[in-house]
């Protein structure tokens, strides 16, 4: 057992995706707003962000921090590593002369947790997106021991991308909370009309919600996400808390 496995799981959820641009940030931020509206103590973290394009903080970091009510002076703790280039973190870091390590990433996430709170962590890209020279997002999830939510884009290819992601998670024995299907564009064809029902036939984890496409700068809380008990879903089991 390594030093990561020896630690108890922190209360929270890790949001990963079947690809980049599938709506991970939108979903994670919406969950944070819902929990805050319930009076819950919510923390957020996106340990590394790319594609900041010269800005101090990525758009994802800003969206998450604002949803969780994090004051701007603490945004660097939400995302300790921000890189300009829109490429995999290991490449973006290397181009800046930075060498990321799994231990640093794990510690940056864990420091955001506090007693009585739940921590929502957003990954980058998909499950096998490289974070360091030798580790991926999947390795970070395994080291944290957090249950993960897979956000899948509703489009042609949804079935393949989601099933591939779940297969990797299963092989690596990653804790799985469920799947959220996200419409990043208005449904236009037969694939979008049929893939959710077909996905239900193929997956053996909960299909938590189907988030309909929303347009505008301040989208409303999706009803599908509002119906999920995210607080209960993020809570550690008695065994993980060390209770009998």
DSSP bridge pairs for 42: 118
Instruction: State the burial class of residue 244 (Cβ atoms within 10 Å of its Cβ: 0-12, 13-18, 19+).
Output: exposed
Would residue 34 show up in a list of annotated catalytic residues for this protein? no
Identified catalytic residue from 24, 34, 46, 173: 46
The answer for residues whose C-beta is within 8 angstroms of residue 150's C-beta and 6 or more apart is 16, 17, 18, 127, 162, 165, 166, 169, 176, 178, 179, 180
C-alpha 222/C-alpha 231 separation (Å) is 17
Reduced to 3 states (helix: H, G, I; strand: E, B; else coil), residue 154 is: coil
Residue 200 CB neighbour total at 10 angstroms: 10
Provide the annotated active-site residues: 46
């Amino acid at each position: 057992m390594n030093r990561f496995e020896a630690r108890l799981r922190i209360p929270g959820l890790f949001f990963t995706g079947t690809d980049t641009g599938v709506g991970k940030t939108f979903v994670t931020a919406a969950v944070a707003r819902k929990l805050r509206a319930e009076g819950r103590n919510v923390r957020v973290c996106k340990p590394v962000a790319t594609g900041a394009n010269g800005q101090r903080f990525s758009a994802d970091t800003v969206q998450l921090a604002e949803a969780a009510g994090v004051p701007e002076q603490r945004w660097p703790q939400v995302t300790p590593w921000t890189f300009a280039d829109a490429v995999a973190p290991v490449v973006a870091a290397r181009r800046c002369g930075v060498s990321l390590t799994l231990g640093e990433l794990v510690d940056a996430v864990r420091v955001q947790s506090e007693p009585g709170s739940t921590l929502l962590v957003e990954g980058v890209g998909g499950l096998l997106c490289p974070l360091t020279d030798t580790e991926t997002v999947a390795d970070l999830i395994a080291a944290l021991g957090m249950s993960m939510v897979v956000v899948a884009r509703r489009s042609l290819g949804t079935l393949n991308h989601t099933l591939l992601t779940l297969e990797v998670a299963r092989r690596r024995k990653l804790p799985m909370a469920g799947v959220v299907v996200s419409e990043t564009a208005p449904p236009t064809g037969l694939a979008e009309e049929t893939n959710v029902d077909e996905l239900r036939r193929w997956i053996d984890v909960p299909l938590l919600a189907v988030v309909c496409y929303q347009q505008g700068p301040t989208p409303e809380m999706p009803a599908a996400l509002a119906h999920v008990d995210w607080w209960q879903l993020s809570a550690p089991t008695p065994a993980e808390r060390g209770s009998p």
